[in-house]
Structure 1
Amino acid sequence: MSTQYDTERLRKSDAAHILHPASVVADVSNNGPARIFVEGKGAFITDTEGKKMLDGVGGLWCMNIGYGRTEIGDAMKAASDQMGYFHTFAGASNPAQIELAEKLIAKMPDHITKVFFGSSGSDANDTLMKIVWYYNGLRGKPEKRKIIARRQAYHGTTIATASLTGLASFHRNFGLPIPEVKHTSLPHYYREAGFNESEEEFSTRLARELEELILAEGPETVGAFIAEPIMGAGGVITPPKGYFAAVQAILKKHDILFICDEVVCGYGRTGHWFGHQLYDIRPDMIATAKGLTSGYFPMSAAFISDDIWKVLRDGSATLGAFAHGFTYSGHPVGSAVALANLAIIEGENLVANSAQTGAYLHAQLNDTFGNHAHIGEIRGVGLLGALQLMADRDTKTGFDLKHKIAARCAVAIGNHGVIVRPLPTADSLAFSPPLTLTLSEADQMVDAIKKGINQVMGELNAEERKGMAA
């Protein structure tokens, strides 16, 4: 199919001028971008050469309402025509920000009463980390600065949030993590549990390890614990039974705040509005982004409890202005986009569709891969999930990561018309398609995943098949 784009010229120009995020610099410099996408509609996206693909990752876990929604463009244009921009510093505001705040707070637990707007999930977590420090300083406990995250978690790429991220590649050669950040156990029952250890016993052990870390660091120095309800880039890892109940008891015991990172899980991805509803988490702070605008505008919303807000309010009597903020906080165009996005999610019952179509997709994956020799686990909830690749599922022998099996599978699946995301650290294939996904589109995903995985597994040589024991 011919298009209006000169793909080769664009590739060369891209390679000459752009430093890409999360990409191998030499590969892009030598070869240009893998694909250049120009159009999207529903769950599908099309590149400059006319190839149409089902986006099984929803951009980066964010395209909840699907591509090409003219309602969003209309809302964006109206807001741009009306004013376009004005800051929200020094108490300035705009109607769209106010309406958005009302709508979001109404979806929060009763004790979460205030929201701070930013531009990304990274800055939302960065903001909450700073508020932990600010809050404890105002309480006369300035030494409570340490934040505990989990190994293999993902929380962002700023200096602070890359430190929270528990993936070595985000620390290596950057001199991270910063001293205030510590990491505790990965709650992946399939890979980390002991022999004959039940999920409940595994959760109890992890809670005990968390408390041991707190005691070793000194409870008086630990300000917060941060966790995603379901870990996203770390492998789409769902918590074992009893995990969050056990963890929250430890946090309460030691006066430690719980930051719930909902950047991936929020706004319907799990078949619930938010992941904390699924696991009965009572957070003190919540970070959201991605699905807030379905990626149509860079925006985040970070929430705090009424108790925290009261401390900040009372402290302002002596400290004056809250010395934190971004040029684009509460952006009127972004707020209008978020409102239009939420209206689509509500009006089309996309949270329910996430639950129903997600259940169908997981059932189809289980039927297809439940006994597959190289799939050890099928994880996830709603339209969020992952397949765990294994050299031998019976012995729980993983592939040697140097062979990049996940990346090779993703390429093969892409050749069959579906985009999935390889997660190299977890050696998994992740999916998070738009919440508009239909049953027939779910079938298309499963068919392409099956063909791609079987193709790669059929091509493995003897060394690759040996794998590496966990």
Structure 2
Amino acid sequence: MSINPNSVEARDVAYHMHSYTNARAHQENGPVVIDRGEGAYVYDTSGKKYFEAMSGLWSAGLGFGEERLVQAATAQMAKLPYYHNFNSKSHGPAVDLAEKLISIAPVPMSKVFYTNSGSEANDTVMKLLWYRSNALSQPERKKIISRQRGYHGVTIASASLTGLPNNHRSFDLPIANVLHTGSPHHYRDAQDGETEEEFASRRAEELEQMILDEGPDTIAAFIGEPVMGAGGVIVPPATYWEKIQAVLRKYDILLIADEVICGFGRTGQMFGSQTFGIEPDILVMSKQITSTYFPLSAFMMNERVFDPIADESNSIGVLGHGFTGAAHPVGAAIALENLKIIEERDLVTQANERGQYMQQKLRGLSDHPLVGEVRGVGMIAAVELVADKAAKTGGETPGALGAQANRMLEAKGVISRNMMDAMAFCPPLISSETDIDFMVSTLAKTLDEMHGSL
């Protein structure tokens, strides 16, 4: 690396192992070190400005530098910097946030359980469902059905629920009792001439056949993101969730909505479940719950889920599960202020309106020779790149087009993320139309340059 050996970049390479990174390539190329943030933009240590078109990791809904969140954290840190919720202990911010979340839930919910990340939340959900099945004297009902290309985290259990090969390879995953049914991606997975409704019916039929093959009494739950995020921003086809839920109700199988990305306005409503008519028994939240100014996650459960768990904890004498930092008072205080800002500024409505603007602008690229599909809803979208539009194929190496576009966009001041050859866009909810215009025009220039060099 041709960088100052005493610089932060060099020290990063020397001492820091990164998530979702090729470790050897990182040693060769070094990091981009982000130094500060302002609104929808971040700046690296050289002073270069970037539009953060991914909200960090789908998560900084209020952007970077929201002073009210800093003040909320500071005030709570001064009053009660830490406490837990073990052994019937509690504190005001955790109680207030639980009450607030239940009040805005898309369907009636009973209780909130706090964790520290989306991965921990989904891991805990899986563990509690096993606990619940035992409480109901249904020890065989332990299997969870997820979907190919779904993303639910990286702990051993949640990574097993995730349906992406690179989250399983060399990790000896998935574990037992995790099944994967087909992705809801019509563009990639539909048969020739199959309409969205026909495709949705086929996916529902495949789910039902999987349930019958495994035995309905062995299936505890089905988990899905309203819109798939890391799997490529996959928007479900028309009638998909309606048909999936009909199958689950038929066999008395619980539904888990993973709203880690979709929650708190991202799809143009407070929850993605509202956007797609989903009625979950468990709803998982993280990321935009604090705009990721503090690690916090939680899930809500209805009475049907809670009651057997509560009974079993009474029978055993304790619910033997929890995390030291869960229900953290600073995180809860930030989340409460974050939700207050979202409501005061009507950012959900703004996300719907600005999201329509963003979707329209991105769809204006649909005729570009390198664009196979533009998809999205609200303030989340993807542009899938292809070398051959008719065949829907990319370059010789899968993901090469996306990686090239990602590098070129970053060089031009837009941070995106390629998921193989799909470019993701998930800008902060506070982004302006001018910000969106810059993002889309930069993408258009990048695609033109890439096409000219092919």
TM-score tier, shorter chain, comes to over 0.9
Matched residue of 1:371: which SS?
A: coil
Offset of residue 402 of structure 1: 4.1
Show the counterpart of 2:55: 58
Distance in 1 between residues matched to 2:132 and 2:367, nearest whole Å:
51
Distance in 1 between residues matched to 2:191 and 2:366, nearest whole Å:
22
Show the counterpart of 2:130: 133
Moved more, 435-444 or 391-400: 391-400
Offset of residue 318 of structure 1: 1.1
Distance in 1 between residues matched to 2:371 and 2:81, nearest whole Å:
50
Show the counterpart of 2:392: 396
Distance in 2 between residues matched to 1:263 and 1:110, nearest whole Å:
17
- 8 Å Cα contact 2:399-2:419 kept in structure 1: no
Show the counterpart of 1:28: 26
Matched residue of 1:398: which SS?
A: coil
Query: Which amino acid is 2:427 matched to?
Result: P
Show the counterpart of 1:253: 250
Query: Which amino acid is 1:442 matched to?
Result: I
Moved more, 125-134 or 53-62: 125-134
Distance in 1 between residues matched to 2:217 and 2:394, nearest whole Å:
40
Task: Tell me if 1:442 matches 2:407.
Answer: no
Offset of residue 446 of structure 1: 0.6
Normalised to the residue count of structure 1, the TM-score between the two structures is 0.94
Offset of residue 7 of structure 1: 9.0
Query: Which amino acid is 1:275 matched to?
Result: G
Show the counterpart of 2:296: 299
Change (3 A) 1:343 1:196: same
Show the counterpart of 1:385: 381
- 8 Å Cα contact 1:391-1:399 kept in structure 2: yes
Query: Which amino acid is 1:386 matched to?
Result: A
Show the counterpart of 2:151: 154
Query: Which amino acid is 1:420 matched to?
Result: S
Query: Which amino acid is 1:135 matched to?
Result: R
Query: Which amino acid is 1:76 matched to?
Result: A
Show the counterpart of 1:464: none
Show the counterpart of 1:453: 447
Query: Which amino acid is 1:171 matched to?
Result: H
- 8 Å Cα contact 1:410-1:452 kept in structure 2: no
- 8 Å Cα contact 2:37-2:65 kept in structure 1: yes
Moved more, 107-116 or 231-240: 107-116
Show the counterpart of 1:43: 40
Distance in 1 between residues matched to 2:394 and 2:445, nearest whole Å:
21
Distance in 2 between residues matched to 1:350 and 1:304, nearest whole Å:
26
Matched residue of 1:397: which SS?
A: coil
Percent of residue pairs identical: 43
Query: Which amino acid is 2:134 matched to?
Result: G
Which segments of 5 or more consecutive residues in structure 2 lack a partner in the other structure? none
Query: Which amino acid is 2:439 matched to?
Result: M
CA deviation profile, 1:425-447 (whole Å, cap 9, x unmatched): xx200010000010111100111
Task: Tell me if 1:163 matches 2:160.
Answer: yes
Distance in 2 between residues matched to 1:296 and 1:158, nearest whole Å:
22
Query: Which amino acid is 2:135 matched to?
Result: L
Matched residue of 2:7: which SS?
A: helix
Offset of residue 370 of structure 1: 2.3
Matched residue of 2:320: which SS?
A: coil
Task: Tell me if 1:283 matches 2:280.
Answer: yes
- 8 Å Cα contact 2:356-2:378 kept in structure 1: yes
Query: Which amino acid is 1:378 matched to?
Result: V
Show the counterpart of 2:418: 422
Task: Tell me if 1:176 matches 2:181.
Answer: no
Matched residue of 2:372: which SS?
A: strand
Show the counterpart of 1:463: none
Following superposition of structure 1 onto structure 2, how do residues 338-377 of structure 1 map, counting pairs within 5 Å? 338-367=335-364, 369-377=365-373
Offset of residue 61 of structure 1: 0.1
RMSD, matched Cα: 1.4
- 8 Å Cα contact 1:260-1:283 kept in structure 2: yes
1:411 to 404, 407, 410: 407
Show the counterpart of 2:221: 224
Query: Which amino acid is 1:106 matched to?
Result: S
Offset of residue 73 of structure 1: 1.1
Matched residue of 2:84: which SS?
A: coil
- 8 Å Cα contact 1:7-1:49 kept in structure 2: no
Distance in 1 between residues matched to 2:439 and 2:375, nearest whole Å:
16
- 8 Å Cα contact 1:288-1:302 kept in structure 2: yes
Change (3 A) 1:136 1:242: same
Distance in 2 between residues matched to 1:458 and 1:121, nearest whole Å:
41
Distance in 2 between residues matched to 1:177 and 1:260, nearest whole Å:
20
CA deviation profile, 1:67-115 (whole Å, cap 9, x unmatched): 1111111111111111200111011000011111111110113421211
- 8 Å Cα contact 2:106-2:274 kept in structure 1: no
Change (3 A) 1:320 1:403: closer
Distance in 2 between residues matched to 1:323 and 1:264, nearest whole Å:
29
Change (3 A) 1:364 1:77: same
Distance in 2 between residues matched to 1:403 and 1:232, nearest whole Å:
17
Query: Which amino acid is 2:324 matched to?
Result: T
- 8 Å Cα contact 1:413-1:453 kept in structure 2: no
Offset of residue 26 of structure 1: 0.4
Offset of residue 314 of structure 1: 2.4
Query: Which amino acid is 2:8 matched to?
Result: L
Which segments of 5 or more consecutive residues in structure 1 lack a partner in the other structure? 461-470
Offset of residue 395 of structure 1: 3.5
Distance in 1 between residues matched to 2:398 and 2:88, nearest whole Å:
53
Show the counterpart of 1:104: 101
- 8 Å Cα contact 1:383-1:435 kept in structure 2: yes
CA deviation profile, 1:326-369 (whole Å, cap 9, x unmatched): 001110011011111111111111111111111111111122x1
What is the number of equivalent residue pairs in this alignment? 452
Distance in 2 between residues matched to 1:175 and 1:163, nearest whole Å:
9
Query: Which amino acid is 2:130 matched to?
Result: W
Distance in 2 between residues matched to 1:20 and 1:74, nearest whole Å:
30
Change (3 A) 1:97 1:403: closer
Offset of residue 30 of structure 1: 2.5
CA deviation profile, 1:104-130 (whole Å, cap 9, x unmatched): 110113421211111100011111111
Distance in 1 between residues matched to 2:38 and 2:360, nearest whole Å:
26
Query: Which amino acid is 1:373 matched to?
Result: P
Query: Which amino acid is 1:160 matched to?
Result: A
Change (3 A) 1:438 1:7: farther
Matched residue of 2:223: which SS?
A: strand
Task: Tell me if 1:73 matches 2:70.
Answer: yes
